[in-house]
Structure formats: structure tokens, C-alpha cells
Structure 1
Amino acid sequence: MRLLALAIALCLALPVHAEGFISRLLNKPVPGGVAVVDLGPAPNAPAARFQNKPVLVIHEDQQRWIAIVGIPLSVKPGIEQLLVAGKTREFEVGNKHYTEQRITIKNQQQVNPNAKNLARIERELSEQTHAYQQFSARQPSNLLFDRPVNGPLSSPFGLRRFFNGEERNPHSGLDFAANSGTPIKAPAAGKVILIGDYFFNGKTVFIDHGQGLISMFCHLSAIGVKLGDELPRGGVLGKVGATGRATGPHLHWNVSLNDARVDPAIFIGAFKP
């Protein structure tokens, strides 16, 4: 009887379900991170929204649905709410400290642009904001992403950035050190939804991986795709360069979930708490 009682106690102490691979990979609930919220079993995917924006929902382990929520850097640690089929589910956002980066830019227009350049920047920002807000029905081909280039990580996500001593927006992506001309590969399959040559970002490509999961690649020396192209996982989209506001050749890669820029390191298993 004592052995039976012990066995029952151990079973009760176990979680209702074992955490799946995607949850273990992606659940980094901090500002600029990702929260994986268990939605339980259902015959169809529940509709979920965070901050009034649709959220990626996938089946994990063929047993339950999970919501994969992008947390903006502006969110403070504490309890947040996800709206699921008219009901709220809470999840907790922890704390994370981001360090500073100080950069010297020779071109003063890239620090304090004049009126003409500011107008251009506003137009370009509107284009890119619209791209980030797209939410297609397609399921992402994979959530453990491939690295878009072979090269060491340089500037991490979330750095507080100072250009010529003046504070600007935090670093919204992850940088890879790579030589100019290095091929850039799609980390997951997707559709090219925006290309451009922008004031700050230089030559840029946006790829929609599905359900609000979007990659942006910038500072390219050359773009190798057209608007509307479907790229397979590993398909080449362009080459590393130093166009726009860049002090040297590198790839800047953004990942966006439900219109929140999040740390790409999460998706390649390189996140550091």
C-alpha cells in the first residue's frame, strides 16, 4: 500500500502534459522575448490576440494548441493577458537587462537628418510598419530557424544604442559579422512581402513566414529576390553588405511576432537570459 501511495503521489506531482519541443525552445517571457501560452485541446485552432493583434497559434504534440506571443520591448515585467475566444489567459513577463552600445557615425545626416531626409524616413517607416502588421493564414514551415548566414553573432538584440553620444531606439534585431557578398539564406520558408533601399536600413528584404511571423534582413549589398517570390527554407535572398546606416559589412536580422520585434536568438537556440 505504501508503494501504491507513493506512486500516486508521484503521478500527481507531474505536470498535466510534458512540455513540448517548441515550448522549450521559444518560451522566453521577457520584454523583447516570446511567451508560449498553453491553450489546451480543441477541435480547431483557437483565435488569440495580444494587445489587440492576432497571435500565432500552432498544434504542439498533436494534443494541444499553444499561442506563441511576441512581447514588445516596451512591456514592463508583470502579468499580461492574452484574449482567447473571448476569454482571458494570463502569463507572466519577467525582467531582462539590456546593455548599452555606443557607435560613432561619420555621416551626421544619419544621426540628425534634415527635413528632406526626415520626410523620406517617415515614408519608409510607414511601408515597413505595414509589412510587419501583415498576418497570413499560412503555417510556418519551421520554428527552429536556420542561421541566415554563417558568421559570429555581433551586436545582440535590445542594446540601448547611442549614436555620436545621442540615444536612439534600442537595437531591434541581431547582427551577424560576415564579409560583404556572403549569401543570405531564408531561415524558414516564406513569401517576399517587401523589398526596398531605405535611408537607415539600406537594401532590405521582408519575408512572411506565416501568421504574423516575419523576418527582415537589411544592409544588403544586393537583393536576389522579387516582390511576391516564394522562398524555400535555405533559399538565397541576397548578399551581405553595408548599405544604409552601417559602419561595416554585416547582416542585421529582425524577427517580428504579432507586430512585436523580438530577439531572433530565441529562434536559433542562442538566447541568453
Structure 2
Amino acid sequence: MPRLFAVLLLCLSCSAHAADSYLTRLLNKPVPGGVAVIDLGTGAVAPTARYDGKPVLVVREQDTWRAIVGVPLSVQPGPQQVSSGGRTLTFTVGAKHYPEQHITLKNTRQVNPNPADLSRINAELAVQTTAYRSFSPGTPSNLLLDKPVNGPLSSRFGVRRFFNGEERNPHAGLDFAVPAGTPIKTPAAGKVILVGDYFFNGNTVFVDHGQGFISMFCHMSKIDVKMGQGLARGEVVGRVGSTGRATGPHMHWNISLNDVRVDPAIFIGAFQP
């Protein structure tokens, strides 16, 4: 009986420790398109963790290591598993409803591309997929991110999008309604790993913040950085525009974790359950 009591006390202590975690309070939104914060325990050496076969971001908070896991929009509510050090750690994904958005485009090729467009799109997708799968060893400078621009949100993450009445991929980032030419600043330190002008995204920049934690900015009127450039938090990466598939000037920002696009609102304290 005393031994059982001691085990119960240990479990309660671990639960309280997790509940008191700043990162858990800030980031743990385990829904489709959200983030799960997993306790990996204590230790002098950083553990590794994998989710869906891919490495995930691991950071140390005081004496505890935590995995910061991106949950795909396609995941159904229910149990999911992370592997670390020979262990299987289970977390539960809750439900979340995402609204619809209907957009009318004058350029019908942006809805139904022709064969030449599709060839270009597929080549560009391969390049961007490789960038999203980058996993550098550095720890991000900060996980509570700055807004890349100051302005109201015009479209939230995860919205089901219909272009000219036809459903396409859900919205994979946040849109900010700000004027053309507004400077876009990186929300955390990082390295530029991709720069390009793409069919759907227009002028685009990828910034690697470390361990698969990546920002993507697109539709820019101007790019102010180069491939391989190191950036301090708050440096300008480009200017707001409406290049690519866009109906007007705005700033589109993606966040990717373990090659999963997640809601950037989580990292700026603007998440809506």
C-alpha cells in the first residue's frame, strides 16, 4: 500500500509539472492543424523524437525536455503516438471545426491550370517540399513569435477554400490585411533556405528557425534577402504584395513543424479553439 501511494504521488507530481509548463500553456493545442507538447522527461543529453516517421522539434524547459509536434489537418480526432528513446508516448487529438471561404478569381488558370502550368507547379512543389522537410540542428531563438506585420487578420488557418465554386486545399497559413509595400519581419532568428517566384505563391521566402520549425512568407512584391542569409529576429525579409494567386495585397505566413503546416496563431497568442 505505501508503495502504491508513492507511485500515485509521483504521477500527480508529473501531471502538475506538465500543467505548470509555460510551453504547454502556450503551445499545446492538440487539434488537427495544431500543436502537441509532449513531456520527454529529464536528462543531461537531449533526446530525439519522431512523429509519423519524421523528426520533431525538441527543446529544454528548465530541467524537462519537450517535443513540440505539428499535427496535420488531415488527422482524425483520437490517439496519436510519438516515439522517443525506445518508448511510445500517446497523446489525444481533439476535434476542431474550420469554416469555409469562397473566392472569385478572374484568372481561371489559377483555378484550373493548363498542362504547361501544371508542369511548372509540380516542379515548384518538389522544391518547396524539400525545404519544408529541412531539419537543422539548432534550437529556435524563441517559440513565442512576433507578428511578421502589424495588422488585422483577413483569413485564418485551416479555412476550407473554394475558388470559383471549386474546392481546393485548405488555407495553410494566416493572412494579414496590410498595404502593399509593408515590411515583413522574421518572427524569430533563422536562415533563409528558399527564395523563389512561384505559380501559386508568387514571390516567396522560407526561413528555417531550427529543427524543422520553418516560416514561409509569400505573395510578396519584393524580396529583400538571399539564399543562405542568416537573419536576426525582426529583420525584414520582403515587402507585402499580391503576386501569385492573390486577389489583392496581403501578407500570407505559414508555420511548419516536422513537415506539417500548423496554425501560426498558436505562436502569437491568437489561437481560436
Distance, in Å, in 1 between the alignment partners of 2:119 and 2:206 is 22
Task: Please name the residue that 2:5 is paired with.
Answer: none
The answer for the alignment partner of 1:25 in structure 2 is 26
Matches of 1:182 and 1:230, distance apart in 2 = 21
Deviation at 1:142, TM superposition (A): 0.2
CA deviation string 1:162-209 (max 9, x = no partner): 000000000000000000000000000000000000000000000000
What is the root-mean-square deviation of aligned Cα atoms in Å? Answer: 1.5
Q: Structure 2: how far apart are the matches of 1:200 and 1:86?
A: 41
Give the TM-score, by structure 2 length: 0.94
User: Kindly tell me: are residues 89 and 200 of structure 1, through their superposed partners in 2, closer, same or farther at Cα, counting changes over 3 Å?
Assistant: same
Structure 2 letter corresponding to 1:47: T
1:184 and 1:161 mapped to 2: Cα distance? 25
What residue is the counterpart of 1:213 in the other structure? 213
When the two structures are aligned, how many residues end up with a matched partner?
264
Unaligned runs of 5+ in 1: 1-8
Match in the other structure for 1:4: none
TM value normalised by structure 1: 0.94
Answer yes or no: is 1:78 the counterpart of 2:78: yes
Q: SS of the counterpart of 1:154? A: strand
1:144 aligns to 2:144 (yes or no) = yes
Alignment-derived partner of residue 178 in structure 2: 178
CA deviation after TM superposition for structure 1 residue 21, in Å: 1.4
Which residue in 2 is equivalent to 1:157? 157
One-letter amino acid matched to 1:42: G
Q: How does 1:114-153 map to 2 (within 5 A)?
A: 114-153=114-153
Partner in structure 1 of residue 4 of structure 2: none
For residue 162 of structure 2, give the secondary structure of its aligned residue in structure 1: strand
Deviations 1:18-43 (A, max 9, x none): 52211111000000000000111112
Tell me the CA shift for residue 12 of structure 1.
8.6
Greater shift in the superposed pair: 222-231 or 9-18: 9-18
The equivalent residue for 1:238 is: 238
Name the CA distance, whole Å, in 2 between partners of 1:92 and 1:253: 27
Please tell me the residue identity of whatever aligns with 1:37.
I
**For residues 182 and 42 of structure 1, what CA distance do their matches in structure 2 show?**
45
Is 1:199 aligned to 2:212, yes or no?
Answer: no
State the AA in 2 paired with 1:215. Answer: S
Counterparts of 1:253 and 1:104 in 2: how far apart (Å)?
21
Q: Report how far residue 16 of structure 1 moved.
A: 4.2
Identity between Structure 1 and Structure 2 (%):
67
Determine the C-alpha separation between the residues in 2 that align with 1:16 and 1:269. Answer: 23
Q: Is there any run of 5+ residues in structure 2 with no aligned partner, and where?
A: 1-7
AA aligned opposite 1:202: G
- Residue aligning to 2:58: 57
Q: Deviations over 1:128-171 (max 9, x none)?
A: 00000000001100000000001111100000000000000000
- In the alignment, what sits opposite 2:49? 48
